[in-house]
Amino acid sequence: MTQRQNVYERPVEILQRLIQFNTTNPPGNEAACIEYIRGMLSEAGIQSALLAKDPNRPNLIARLQGEGKAPPLLLYGHVDVVTTENQSWQNPPFEGRLVDGYVWGRGALDMKSGVAMMIAAFLRANAEGLRPPGDVVLAIVSDEEAGGEFGAKFLVEEHPNLFKGIKYALGEFGGFTLQIGRKRFYPIMISEKQICWMKATVRGAGGHGSMPVKGGAMARLSQLLKALDENDLPVHITPPARRMVEAIAPRLGGVQGFILGQLTNASLNGAIIKTLGERGRVFYPLFIIRSARPCCRAAQRSM
């Protein structure tokens, strides 16, 4: 057995190697990283398929056969990362250094660590001859950070048969530890916010450096962006957010539990979040529709 064939026993090594591939998106260039993963699977005798809209941005699919008594389980992760441009790093972002018991680098959290764990588990299950009730499908994709056009979107639109019968999936940050007061909770993600793109056109007089114009299109655009930054849109109590609050509040009990429970009251939500202080930052995104990335166009009238 070669050293790489039992690499599932060393997930830290897998993570370090994944980080060493610069998969900054854009442009992504995830091919080398995906090929590394495919190589590990191949050495373990596991067949995999590469599916790509762009050869430089492939997606890997592998399947561990189960007993057919339960729906397949999907393990899903992405290998692209966001930029490091104009950022100061204590350790180089693409070396995967192990310092003081931690692996440092771009993607160490989002989400090459998750991918390393999935690969290690998948390889171990295969090495130990595990026959789960249902198949285990491993999907390692490109282009998560910029919309999924070459990754998840491409797969579900062009190859939906690969995910037939799947009811459950493990992906990025499906749960985390939450400390409230003296009690510890383990929230499990059951849904996710979706994107709703809107375009605003601001009309007004144009100008030039030699002939400044006050109150023109750019001034109105700045006012719009300022208003979006300083104000929230209406509170929305979605069913998953309500379920979370209604599960946590009774277990806190007392005054804390009562106050937290009022988060499901739209008229009190804002005041309660302020009352919660720093802890309120965890709950704020669950209820507020926020314009995180205003994208507006200023139309100037010709002078």
Active site residues: 80, 144
Pairing of strands 73-78, 168-170: parallel
Q: Is 129 exposed, middle or buried (0-12, 13-18, 19+ CB in 10 A)?
A: exposed
Residue appearing with tokens 């510890």: 184
Cβ atoms of 204 and 217 closer than 8 Å:
yes
Tokens, residue 118: 């999935």
The count of residues in the chain is 303
Sequential DSSP letters for 123-178? HHHHHTT---SS-EEEEEES-TTTTSTTTHHHHHHH-GGGGTT--EEE-TT-B--E
Q: Which amino acid is at 209?
A: G
In sequence order, the β-bridge partners of residue 211 are: 208
Q: Which amino acid is at 223?
A: Q
Whose CA is closest to 33, among 56, 10, 61, 62? Answer: 56
Q: Is 139 exposed, middle or buried (0-12, 13-18, 19+ CB in 10 A)?
A: buried
